[in-house]
């Protein structure tokens, strides 16, 4: 795509996204311009530049471990500190008498801030919540500092970064964001239940992969083998950014013809365009060149198609290649699994 065409078409919405991430309104346009300029070579090569720019924008705002905090991060921290002067500090309840010692920060993907505080407290880790205003359901964990996998000292406090209700008006697709986060938590932590159709059609890497019972949990066989296992394997691995977990980008609209090099499904019986959830787990920095055409450009993608009643009726999952996740679990038939279990 031509760079100037993309800038003209998407600049206003990207500025809104930057503001939703917490960048002050008077600096949001400059942050977006910097990200577009950094990604110019990848934009002109991409069939869907949003898949390049949106994760890069979130990376710019949230920062990268190897780069140190960006100006946008410093501005975000200042805004959050001014807007939320009182932070929530929590540790293990006194009655539990948890002995404080060095501990490893667990994965917090798919948890709410309350669930994260509880999980860290059980590990004997004190916590503080830093809220980031976003047009996403409040209290959804975005990551932690230090990140998951790091070892913390007994006197060290882990800062849980979580979404908070913004003071500005959110776009009309905010409800889709809530549904998308609920689906992610449904898969990863099991602590939420989105509005699912009684029978959910599944696609994996562009191919029809059967159905799942929308009344069952994500640990039931049809969900687990085809969708839950690969998503969890991708989501809980350590990520080389400041937050220690994938950056979640949620958009709604017509998807590109291909995703990660495979055709994007266009299922029948759905109401309009899907909600797309992209988990950016790459530790690459914006502007880095891709090595094989997929490692940087392709991230785990989940498309959620709803029926006329607003229930998720079709789920399409596309995994990036070359991630070292092992054989995809959805290739096993039930007979294969029974043989393994025996």
9 is a domain residue: yes
**Domain end position, chosen among 138, 164, 190:** 164
Q: Is 70 exceeded by the pLDDT of residue 204?
A: yes
CATH number, residue 156: 3.30.10.20
What 3-state DSSP class applies to 224?
A: helix
pLDDT tens digits, 217-276: 999 999 998 899 989 988 887 777 778 888 888 888 899 999 888 899 999 999 889 999
- 184 and 274 fall within a common domain: yes
Query: What is the predicted pLDDT for the residue at 69?
Result: 40
What 3-state DSSP class applies to 132?
A: strand
- 256 and 202 fall within a common domain: yes
- 259 and 207 fall within a common domain: yes
How confident is the prediction for the chain on average, in pLDDT? 77
Query: What is the predicted pLDDT for the residue at 234?
Result: 86
Q: Is 50 exceeded by the pLDDT of residue 108?
A: yes
Task: Count structural domains, the chain.
Answer: 3
What is the percentage of the chain residues whose pLDDT exceeds 90? 31
Using the structure block, give the residue that is written with the tokens 């309104």: 25
Q: What is the arithmetic mean of pLDDT over 195-212?
A: 94
Query: What is the predicted pLDDT for the residue at 171?
Result: 75
The CA distance from 157 to 49, in Å, is: 38
Q: Which structure tokens are listed for 138?
A: 């409040």
- 107 and 178 fall within a common domain: no
The CA distance from 17 to 37, in Å, is: 17
**Domain end position, chosen among 40, 60, 79:** 79
- 202 and 297 fall within a common domain: yes
Half-sphere exposure of 219 (CA within 13 A, CB side): 5
**Domain end position, chosen among 20, 49, 79:** 79
65 is a domain residue: yes
Alpha helices in 139-208 (DSSP H): 174-188
62 is a domain residue: yes
Contact of 220 with 337, CB cutoff 8 Å: no
- 186 and 314 fall within a common domain: yes
Q: Determine the structural domain holding residue 130 and report its residue range.
A: 84-164
Q: What is the arithmetic mean of pLDDT over 86-93?
A: 40
What is the reported pTM? 0.63
Q: How far is CA 149 from its chain centroid? A: 18
pLDDT tens digits, 55-76: 788 777 765 433 334 444 434 4
- 256 and 306 fall within a common domain: yes
57-66, 94-103, 279-288, 322-331: least confidently modelled range: 322-331
Better pLDDT: 82 or 262: 262
Preceding omega of 146 cis (within 30 degrees of 0)? yes
pLDDT tens digits, 151-195: 999 889 999 999 998 887 777 777 788 899 999 999 998 989 999
What 3-state DSSP class applies to 71?
A: helix
Contact of 65 with 284, CB cutoff 8 Å: no
| Residue 12 DSSP symbol | H
Contact of 179 with 195, CB cutoff 8 Å: yes
169 is a domain residue: no
């Amino acid at each position: 795509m031509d760079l100037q065409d993309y800038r003209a078409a998407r600049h206003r919405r990207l500025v809104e996204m930057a503001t939703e991430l917490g960048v002050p309104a008077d600096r949001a346009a400059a942050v977006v311009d910097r990200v577009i300029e950094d990604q110019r070579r990848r934009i002109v090569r991409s069939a869907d530049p949003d898949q390049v720019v949106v994760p890069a924008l979130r990376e710019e705002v949230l920062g990268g471990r190897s780069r140190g905090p960006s100006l946008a991060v410093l501005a975000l921290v200042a805004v959050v500190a001014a807007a939320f002067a009182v932070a929530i500090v929590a540790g293990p309840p006194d009655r539990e008498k948890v002995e404080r010692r060095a501990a490893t920060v667990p994965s917090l993907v798919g948890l709410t801030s309350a669930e994260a505080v509880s999980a860290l407290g059980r590990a004997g880790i004190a916590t503080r919540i830093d809220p980031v205003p976003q047009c996403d359901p409040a209290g959804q964990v975005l990551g932690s500092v230090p990140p998951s996998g790091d070892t913390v000292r007994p006197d060290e406090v882990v800062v849980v970064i979580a979404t908070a209700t913004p003071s500005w008006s959110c776009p009309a697709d905010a409800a889709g964001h809530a549904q998308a986060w609920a689906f992610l938590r449904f898969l990863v932590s099991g602590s939420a239940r989105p509005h699912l159709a009684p029978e959910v059609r599944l696609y994996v890497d562009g191919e029809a992969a059967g159905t799942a019972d929308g009344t069952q949990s994500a640990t039931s066989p049809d969900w687990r083998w085809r969708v839950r296992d690969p998503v969890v394997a991708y989501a809980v691995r350590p990520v080389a950014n400041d937050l220690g977990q994938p950056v979640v980008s949620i958009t709604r609209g017509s998807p590109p013809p291909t995703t990660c090099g495979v055709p994007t499904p266009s299922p029948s019986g759905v109401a309009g365009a899907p909600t797309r959830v992209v988990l950016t787990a790459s530790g690459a920095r914006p502007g880095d060149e891709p090595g094989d055409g997929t490692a940087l450009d392709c991230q785990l993608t989940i498309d959620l198609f709803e029926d006329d009643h607003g229930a998720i009726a079709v789920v399409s999952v596309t995994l990036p290649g070359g991630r070292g996740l092992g054989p995809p679990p959805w290739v096993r038939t039930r007979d294969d699994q029974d043989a393994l279990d025996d």
